[in-house]
Every structure is written in structure tokens, then in C-alpha cells.
Structure 1
Amino acid sequence: MPFAASHRFAMLVALALLPQLASAYDVNIAARDPRAVYLRVGDGVMINGPYSRTPSIFNPTFPTPGVGGNVPLVRATVPANQVGNNTSILMTTPGNPRTTSDWDNFQFCNSGQVYVGGFYRATNASTGNTARLTYSAPAFLTNENNQTIPISQISWTTSGNGDVGAQPFGAGTFSAGSTQLTTISRNQWRETCMTFRYANQNLVASGTYTATVTFTLSQP
């Protein structure tokens, strides 16, 4: 039976009226039932974690992914005298989503980044050897007056503290529709940290422009 884990991700670009203001971490995990996928974007829940913890006589329960956590928000504020000047704006995370890894509680990401990580676990290869990580995005960010900014004005880079090589997925730019970012092999954990920028290439009206992007890890 197909199954998937999804997390929403919100973006907000605030345009001010007045001037102001490592190898990537891939880990093989033990195969066990039940078959599962786990995806965390920003915040998340790992019961009896971290996931790498070995059950003991003092705590015999296996770490178990839970459901919960706030939807992470990234934001860029553009002063009026800089709107559309082609100087990109680093986006921030005002909600301060959790930046430690669910694998081992390591401080994997930094403030301002969004953690993306998870696993695909199964005991039987007949269920499939890979899970797909995709995102679904609208074509535009929209303000309260239905004015728009193309979603392609938002880009990202990826990194992780202590990493020295390629990330599970590299730098990119959002596009409308559903796009595959990477795959996760059976019984593998993968994680990275996303840093976002607003390209600021368009002259647009003042306002708060928002969009929601949904990340999904699925194993058909």
C-alpha cells in the first residue's frame, strides 16, 4: 500500500513602505517492522529519541517518530529603497525551528536554516528500494491585494555542520508544481539544512506576499 509523510513549509516576503531597518550525513539504519517513512521539515517529534539511541534495560523502548511540530516560516523583509534592485535578500526563520538532528541530537543546522531529514525503513526489498522526497509549490507568492511574485524568486542552498561533501540534494530554485529533490534508499537516513534567499529582481507593490510549499517523502 502506498504511504507518505508530508510537511508544509510557509514562505513570506514582507516589502516595507519606508526605508528601515561536509560528506552529507547519510546513515544506514537497521531494518525492522513496521515499514515506515519519516520526514521532518523544521520542527518535528521523535519520541524516546534520538533515533540512533540503542534500547537498554533502563529504556527498552525503540525511538519512534511522532507527528507534530510547527510549520516553519521563512521571511525576507525588503526596504522600499531596495525593492527590485537585483540584490538578493537572505531569508530568516522568525519561528526559530529546531536545528538539532533527530539522528543523534547533533547541532547540525544553524539559526536561520531549515532542517530537512528523515528515513525509509523496511525489512523486505519487495516493498521497493527507494523513497522519493518531493516538494509541491504554487506558481506565485500572493499578497492581500492578489498581487504576485513568482515562486522562482525563492532559491536555496544546502549544508550541514561537519559535512565536507555533497548534500542529499544541492542548491536550487523553486518552480511551480511537484518536483523531486532526492531519493532515500531502503534503510537509510538522510538529512541536510536549507538556507533560503529572495532574488529581489522584480519591482512589486508593497505588501506581505505569502506561499506554502509542501514537502513529501513517499514510498509507493
Structure 2
Amino acid sequence: MKTSLAFFHCTRGRPRGLALVLCAACLPAAHGFTVGITAGTRALFLQVGAGTMTGGTFNNNATPGNNSTVNTASVTVPGAQLGSGTAQAMTTSSTVTASPWDGFAFCTSPATTGQVYVGGFYRVPGTTGAAATLSVSTPVSLANANGDTLAFSSIAWTSSGNGDATPTIPSGAFTGGAQTLLSVTRNTWFESCLAFRYLNTQLVPAGTFNGVATFTLSTP
């Protein structure tokens, strides 16, 4: 039995020539990676897996752009392990390890860990206003070619990032619907590395089960 998960990502806004500075009082090391950016033209940027950053890194005035790549996470469960309750780590087609913010090797090799980079920013002209919201939406189930289904809630993730004692995006599991992952304060960059796993708690028919998780960064 094989489970396959595709990730949609989107880019909103294309700021150019933006000067960025580290905030004077960023979160301490015990928290996940967030960093303040300068106020400016209202913009959103979200990268899930592969992304586009032209001209270097974002903290050195690079320009984020649209990227049509849809990365996947998948796992093939051996017949002897089906429904055993032993979670199965998923691999990913993403190869992203470096943070678009500063080039730091934030995720560990996806080839060995299955980590998928998720990060971006929310920027507004001033210093007031509501936060943006990072969310993910999935159907209730994954399905195979025969119409058999597998609950999306059987897929979970562990969130981390090199150098982070506590991840920015909390670890969790899909709910089979829309769910909020993170509140992103105005003029802030955020990022985490998500490693997905199939919980493998039930017997299911043979086949390849496919589903799509759509990540969205939105503002009020």
C-alpha cells in the first residue's frame, strides 16, 4: 500500500528592492525561527517545498517569485506492517534545505529526513494591524483508483528546524478539513521544516492513495 501527498504552495506579492533589518528584540532561542522585517508595501510570500528567490537571499534584498512546482510526500507500507500501529516515515520530492531568508541550512537533508520547508513573510506599511494566518486545507480522505479511502487524519507531521528548540509551526496532524497552523505577526518572516508520517493504525485495501494538502497564507 502506498500513500502519496501533494503540496500546493502560493506566492502573494512581489516586493522589489526591499531593505530588511533584523529586529532589535527577536524571539529568544527557545522559540521557533521568526524575525522582524522592515515595514513596506503590503505583501505576502509563502513557500512550501521548492520556491523562487531571485538575487540571493531575502535579507539581502532578493526578490521572491512564483514557483509552479508541487512537491510530494509519500510512503510505501510493507504488507507485513499494514495496520501494525508503527508509524511509517514519509519521503519527499523536495530538496530544499537552505532558508530563503539568509541561506542557513535550516532543514536537514530531505532525502534522509523527509523534511519539507515551509516559510514566508507578511509585510504591511505601518506597525499596526491584524496578523496574517497560515492554514492548511485537505479533503476528508485520500483515495485510490478503486475508490477506497484513507482518512487524511492518518497523516501527521513533526515540526523542527536546525537551531530551534521549539518549532515555529507546531507539530500536529491533518484533520481532513481546514485548520489554522500559525498566526503571523505583521512585518515578520517565519519558517519551519515539517517531516510527515503515516500513522498506520488500520488495515486498508492495497493500492496507491492520493491526496492534496493546500497551504495558504492570508490576511484579514
Q: Could you say whether these structures have the same fold, taking a TM-score greater than 0.5 normalized by the shorter chain as the test?
A: yes
Question: 1:124 deviation in Å?
Answer: 2.8
Is the CA contact (8 Å cut-off) linking 2:94 and 2:116 kept in structure 1? Answer: no
* Deviation of the 1:109 alpha carbon: 0.5
Q: Is the 8 A contact 2:157 2:171 kept in 1?
A: yes
Name 2:152's counterpart in structure 1.
Answer: 151
Aligned to 1:24: 32
TM-score (norm 1): 0.82
Q: In angstroms, what is the RMSD of aligned CA positions?
A: 1.5
1:25-70 deviation line (CA, Å, top 9, x unaligned): 110001112x1010000010112130011xxxxxxxx322100052
Mapped pair 1:68 → 2:67: yes
Find the residue that maps to 1:117 and give its secondary structure.
strand
CA contact (8 A) 2:55 2:62 kept: yes
* Separation in structure 1 between the aligned mates of residue 127 and residue 163 of structure 2, nearest angstrom: 32
Give the alignment partner of residue 109 of structure 1, picking from 107, 110, 115: 107
How big is the shift at 1:129?
A: 3.0
Give the match for residue 77 of structure 1. Answer: 76
Structure showing greater radius of gyration is 1
Look up the match of 1:210: 210
Counterparts of 1:198 and 1:46, CA distance in 2: 31
Task: Choose the corresponding residue for 1:120, options 119, 122, 127.
Answer: 122
Verify the 8 A CA contact 1:45 1:69 in the aligned structure 2. no
Residue segments in structure 1 that go unaligned for 5+ positions in a row: 1-6, 10-21, 54-61
The answer to whether the Cα contact below 8 Å between 1:8 and 1:214 also exists between their aligned partners in 2 is yes
- Asked whether the equivalents of residues 31 and 168 of structure 2 are also in contact (C-alpha less than 8 Å), the reply is no
Partner deviation per Cα, 1:49-106 (whole Å, 9 max, x = no partner): 30011xxxxxxxx32210005211001110111111111101111x233121010011
Partners of 1:113 and 1:75 in 2: CA distance: 12
Report what 1:191 is aligned to.
Answer: 191
Q: Determine the structure 1 residue equivalent to 2:25.
A: none
Equivalent position SS for 2:153: helix
Counterpart-to-counterpart distance in 1, 2:98 and 2:185: 22
In 1, are the aligned partners of 2:39 and 2:127 still within 8 Å (CA)? no
Question: Which amino acid is the alignment partner of residue 55 of structure 2?
Answer: N
Question: 3-state DSSP class of the match of 1:200?
Answer: coil
In the alignment, which residue of structure 2 is the partner of 1:168?
Answer: 168
Quick one: higher RCO (CA 8 Å, sep 6+), 1 or 2?
1
Unaligned 5+ segments in structure 2 are: 1-6, 10-29
- Tell me which stretches of 4 or more aligned residues in structure 1 moved more than 6 Å: none
1:52 aligned counterpart, secondary structure: helix
Does the CA contact (< 8 Å) of 1:72 and 1:97 recur in 2?
no
C-alpha distance in structure 2 between counterparts of 1:177 and 1:124, whole Å: 34
